[in-house]
């Protein structure tokens, strides 16, 4: 993978709005163990808060997911991988972020705040697209 492609992938996984519209993976290998992530998150999210009987399991899952996210991000940033492998890793990292966000934000949702966040993310993506299409550098506004 070329360096600019690597930077693009890292920027994509680190973007605050990366999880907007992203899916939680059905299954993922986390620290060598297969985890049915989507089912687990769905089960926990059915409740308004983390049930007492799942509290330690949820805490452990969050720790494992954070560690897995960090390792996969580092693999994109420093590993000798192809562009295709990097894309797959980025998708998993974004899915892990989505799962972590869901697990960390249990409770009633604010529909209006979510709609505003979605609109901001859409505008940010559109602006980024326009900058790329026009060949402008983010910091200097200079054509490439």
pTM for the structure as a whole: 0.67
For every residue of 65-113, DSSP letters joined together read HHHHHHHHHHHHHHS---HHHHHHHHHHHHHHHHHHHHHHT-S---HHH
Residue ranges in the chain whose pLDDT is less than 70: 106-114, 137-144
What pLDDT digit, counting tens, does each position of 93-119 carry? 999 999 998 888 765 445 566 677 788
User: Which pLDDT tens digit goes with each residue over 28-40?
Assistant: 888 788 889 899 8
């Amino acid at each position: 993978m070329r360096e600019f492609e690597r930077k693009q992938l890292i920027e994509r996984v680190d973007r605050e709005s990366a999880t907007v519209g992203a899916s939680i993976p059905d299954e993922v290998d986390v620290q060598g163990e297969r985890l049915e992530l989507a089912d687990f998150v769905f089960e926990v999210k059915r409740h308004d808060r983390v049930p007492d009987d799942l509290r330690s399991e949820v805490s452990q899952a969050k720790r494992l997911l954070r560690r897995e996210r960090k390792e996969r991000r580092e693999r994109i940033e420093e590993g000798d991988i192809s562009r295709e492998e990097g894309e797959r890793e980025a998708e998993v990292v974004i899915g892990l972020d989505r799962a972590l966000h869901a697990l960390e934000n249990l409770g009633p949702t604010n529909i209006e705040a979510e709609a505003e966040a979605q609109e901001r993310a859409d505008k940010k993506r559109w602006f980024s697209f326009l900058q790329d299409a026009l060949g402008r550098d983010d910091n200097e506004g200079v054509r490439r």
